[in-house]
Chains A and B, each alone.
Chain A
Amino acid sequence: MSEPILGVRDLVMRFGDETALEVDDFSIQRGETITLVGHNGSGKSTLMRILALLLAPTEGGVWFDGQPVDFRSRSTLALRRRMAGVHQEPLLCRMSVFNNVALGLRFCGVSGREIGKRVDPWLDRFHIAHLRDRPARAISGGEAQRVSLARALVLDPDVLFLDEPFSGLDAPTRERLLADFQEILGETSVTTIFTTHDRNEALVMGDRMVVLEAGRIAQFGEPDEIYRRPASEGVARFVGVENRIPGTVVDFTDNRVRVDFGEAEVEARGSVAPGQSVLLCLRPEDVTLAAADTGAADAAVQTGGENVLVGTVVRILPSDSSIRVVVDCGFPVVALVTRAAYRELKLEPGDRARVSFFATDAHLIPQVSVPPAPTAARLRPGARRRVQAWWRGH
């Protein structure tokens, strides 16, 4: 990673009265992989289209390779030809696999001989050389997405845009393609912007991650940092922090914060003043679960930075590789355990259980007290939508 290659400044995108996107400053370093994540309607596709120079923003600017982009100028096409995109659906044209992969090169006026030299190695790299002369509409979904990826990478782009390219595939196909693609991405070191709904993909793929909420960047940083230290409740929810417990700080000394939840007190790390309302965020995989003796007190105990709570198992939620156990400690705490561990614990709903977690794994998000929402009826429709969007954002 060296210098920024692509970015936006004071960007506003409106569709009619609706403000879809507002980004003050955002840039991507050359060679890095950025993942754009967010719920549907969060603005990630709009941001991606603007960055791909396919959509001119209402206000603000986009710059590419140190130069501001003039969307009205014919030179935008030349800049766009230094980028390539892959969509969720492969959207192959009614022609052979080879011709589909060659499509972008033909748009750029590359000669026939050169096209052959450049396309064939990419068909090999994506393991689709045997499909070379097959009609593109007659191949499977996974193969079609390989064609789509080869079609983008054959252009040797400075920036590659991937709009949820793996989400339409079944799990085994997705895993195989993701593994192949990661390997290729590592070899090419192309700057990549990747949107996804899948937080695991975001964690695996991205050097840095952008979480969008209601058209604004809620958090931008390294995936692990965002997973461990989400900036808002929305981000925490999106990145799978299932334990989000509201409480009040009762004591703060030397980076140690004691938080009262009414039923129990726990210790966390941070710098929050006493009296402040907070949301304690804890990933379920950071919670350790153990069976508790019958009649154990429902009290919190802290020893050496470890919080221990005792409660009653209320729900068991199996998933493919692990099991979620919800324990009522006065507030629900979700713990993630492996199937083997669960079999050993022999816990059933109604059993007593002991949950523990380290203070360093608990992250506190100070809660801002929000005034009541303005009466919607008094506002004009456009203003009402903006206020409602703002309100949802909080």
Chain B
Amino acid sequence: MELIWDGLKHALQLLFAGDPRVLGIAIRSLQLSGLATVISLLVAVPLGTAVALTRFPGRNLVVSLINTGLSLPPVVVGLFVSITLWRSGPLGFLELLYTPTAIVIAQFVICVPVITSLTLAAVQQIDPKLRQQLQGLGASRPQMLGMLLWEARLPMLAAVMAGFGAVISEVGAVMMVGGNILGSTRVLTTATVLETRKGQFDVAIALSLILLLIAFAVTWALTAFQQRGEVR
């Protein structure tokens, strides 16, 4: 118990003192996970919307595959991204393995199915007659799609929260493709693992607290926005 208490005290000291090592890792985590989430949104939102609004042979299979992606093991993602980026792999010539870009790629692969699946569900729950109603009011196809996404914005914020939460808290894949290199690919989760292994529990707790704080702050901001939208 004393170990935890001392660890917490030291962690708070590190945080309030603005330890540059800890802050650097926290900022890098935010940057990489934020970037991966934004890129995932650009792919997942149109994909989820397209699947939700179209009917084609094999659609159920596609939806099942997307939903399976929700439980995609990050270690498996890490393995395949590593193989792909390996020196002798198909994209080895890009020399991206153990770089921040490799982390963004792995997080992107983890994040896309989460946001796609939740976008699909969000757009599907909109009354199909609304499309007809919007067209009946003179909406062009892009205007109609924009309005449908606007209508689905509240559940889609949940998709963003889930996607960001999945990547910021991910450790296996990030460790495999990033390598946990200080000043380059070390992020909050991998640093926490490392400090725990070293027995530096105070630093590990400080990093965990920051991780929790970031997760809470982002979720709180999105929830506040979501609930405000619900009332309006």
- On A, residues with C-beta under 8 Å from B are 49, 52, 54, 77, 80-81, 83-85, 87, 89, 91, 93-96, 103-104, 107-108, 135, 151-152, 155, 161
Closest to A135 in B: B232
The interface on chain B, measured as residues whose beta carbon lies within 8 A of the other chain's beta carbons, has a size of 21
A85-B133 contact given A93-B151, A94-B229, A96-B232, CB 8 Å threshold:
yes
Assembled-state Cα–Cα distance A87/B150 (Å): 20
Nearest-CB distance from B105 to chain A (Å)? 35
Nearest-CB distance from A6 to chain B (Å)? 15
A49-B138 contact given A107-B143, A135-B231, CB 8 Å threshold:
no
B135 and A54: CB pair below 8 A?
yes
Which chain A residues border B151 with CB–CB below 8 Å?
93-94
Nearest-CB distance from A53 to chain B (Å)? 9
Which chain A residues border B231 with CB–CB below 8 Å?
135
Which chain A residues border B147 with CB–CB below 8 Å?
93, 103
B129 and A80: CB pair below 8 A?
no
The answer to whether the Cβ of B27 comes within 8 Å of any Cβ in the partner chain is no
B150 and A93: CB pair below 8 A?
yes
Could you list 7 examples of A-B contacts with CB < 8 Å?
A: A87-B129, A93-B147, A96-B232, A107-B139, A135-B231, A155-B138, A161-B136
A89-B129 contact given A80-B138, A135-B232, CB 8 Å threshold:
yes
Over the window 196-213 of chain B, the binary record of Cβ atoms lying under 8 Å from chain A Cβ atoms (1 yes, 0 no) is: 000000000000000000
A85 and B137: CB pair below 8 A?
yes
A-B CB pair tally, cutoff 8 Å: 62
A77 and B129: CB pair below 8 A?
no
- On B, residues with C-beta under 8 Å from A are 127, 129-130, 132-140, 143, 147, 150-151, 153-154, 229, 231-232
**Which of A81, A87, A103, A108 is the one whose CB lies under 8 Å from B132?**
A87
Which chain A residues border B232 with CB–CB below 8 Å?
94-96, 135
Nearest-CB distance from A91 to chain B (Å)? 5
Closest to A148 in B: B133
Assembled-state Cα–Cα distance A87/B136 (Å): 10
Which chain A residues border B133 with CB–CB below 8 Å?
85, 87, 91
Q: Which 8 A-B pairs have the closest CB atoms?
A: A85-B136, A104-B137, A81-B138, A107-B138, A91-B133, A107-B139, A135-B232, A91-B130
Known interface pairs A104-B137, A107-B143; 20 further A-B residue pairs with C-beta atoms within 8 A, sorted by A's residue number: A49-B132, A52-B136, A54-B132, A54-B135, A80-B138, A83-B136, A85-B132, A85-B133, A87-B132, A91-B133, A93-B147, A94-B151, A94-B154, A96-B232, A103-B137, A104-B138, A108-B138, A135-B231, A135-B232, A152-B137
